[in-house]
């Protein structure tokens, strides 16, 4: 196994461990439930959209010091708090709407969006923006809380209207014992 492959295996092991830390994740999957799903590698540029308090990114920053991490949220106060709390050189926070991402085309290797899509006023536009800023072969991971089956259908329709047409993976996470969430993984 070369150093690069060893890094990847280590990242995955740490991600799995960190995602299992809290019992409440079995009750309601949160952003850390995404951790074991992510295809983490060295030197990646990662964006979390609707990052809120930066929980996912601050966790990633504890073991991904060779990746560039970005968090984006429309809530100005929250972004200011995150910036104040941030001690990591490879982590930045941006205040902007998901529907108008302040990044160049083909910029990110990984985009995550957890429990945020249902808050966006223009969901198809937000998805198309994610598509624009993802590199070719870049990956989008969505975790979405489901209030009922109707929301899953509505959400599937939104996805079909966007540039992300065929997902690689789609499932209800195994951790969702009491509250259902919907996990979707796309490769551009
Ligand atoms: C329920 S929180 C999810 C936070 C986090 N991703 C998690 O899973 O714990 C939803 C976040 O989406 C943000 N949000 C809502 N509309 C947005 C938009 N149009 N663009 C960017 N962020 C938005 C909110 O400010 C909020 O922080």
- The Cβ-side half-sphere exposure at 39, using a 13 Å CA radius, reads 13
CATH of domain 3-187: 3.40.50.150
Q: What is the pLDDT of residues 146-171, one digit of tens each?
A: 777 788 888 888 988 999 877 777 76
Residue 168, pLDDT score: 75
Pocket flag, ligand 1, residue 50 (CB < 6 Å): yes
Q: Name the band, by pLDDT with cuts 50, 70 and 90, for residue 16.
A: confident
Name every residue whose Cβ is closer than 8 Å to that of residue 32 and which is 6 or more positions away in sequence. 18, 19, 21, 22, 25, 55, 56, 59
Q: What is the pLDDT of residues 63-76, one digit of tens each?
A: 999 999 999 999 99
Residue 33, pLDDT score: 84
Report the separation in Å between the CA atom of 59 and the middle of ligand 1, taken as the mean of its atom positions.
17
The atom number, within ligand 1, closest to the CA of 116 reads 10
Pocket flag, ligand 1, residue 54 (CB < 6 Å): no
Q: What is the mean pLDDT of the chain?
A: 88
Contact 180, 150 (CB under 8 A): no
The atom number, within ligand 1, closest to the CA of 52 reads 27
Contact 148, 178 (CB under 8 A): no
CA dihedral 73, 151, 135, 43 (to 10 degrees): 60
Domain ranges of the chain: 3-187
If you take atom 4 of ligand 1, which residue's CA is the nearest one?
A: 52
If you take atom 27 of ligand 1, which residue's CA is the nearest one?
A: 52
Q: Report which of 21, 60, 45 is spatially closest to residue 108, judged by C-alpha positions.
A: 45
Pocket flag, ligand 1, residue 114 (CB < 6 Å): yes
The atom number, within ligand 1, closest to the CA of 78 reads 27
Residue 27, pLDDT score: 65
pTM of the model: 0.92
């Amino acid at each position: 196994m070369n150093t690069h492959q060893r890094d990847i295996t280590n990242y995955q092991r740490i991600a799995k461990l960190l995602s299992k830390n809290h019992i409440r994740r079995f009750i309601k999957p949160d952003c850390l439930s995404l951790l074991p799903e992510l295809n983490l590698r060295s030197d990646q540029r990662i964006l979390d959209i609707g990052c809120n308090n930066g929980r996912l990114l601050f966790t990633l920053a504890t073991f991904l010091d060779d990746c560039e991490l970005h968090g984006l949220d429309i809530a100005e106060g929250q972004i200011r708090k995150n910036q104040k709390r941030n001690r990591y050189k490879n982590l930045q926070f941006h205040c902007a709407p998901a529907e108008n991402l302040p990044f160049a085309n083909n910029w990110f290797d990984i985009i995550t969006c957890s429990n945020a899509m249902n808050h966006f006023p223009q969901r198809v536009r937000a998805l198309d923006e994610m598509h624009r800023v993802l590199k070719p072969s870049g990956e989008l991971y969505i975790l979405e809380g489901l209030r009922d089956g109707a929301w899953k259908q509505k959400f599937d329709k939104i996805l079909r209207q966007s540039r992300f047409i065929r997902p690689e993976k789609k499932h209800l996470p195994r951790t969702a014992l009491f509250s259902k969430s919907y996990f979707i993984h796309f490769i551009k």
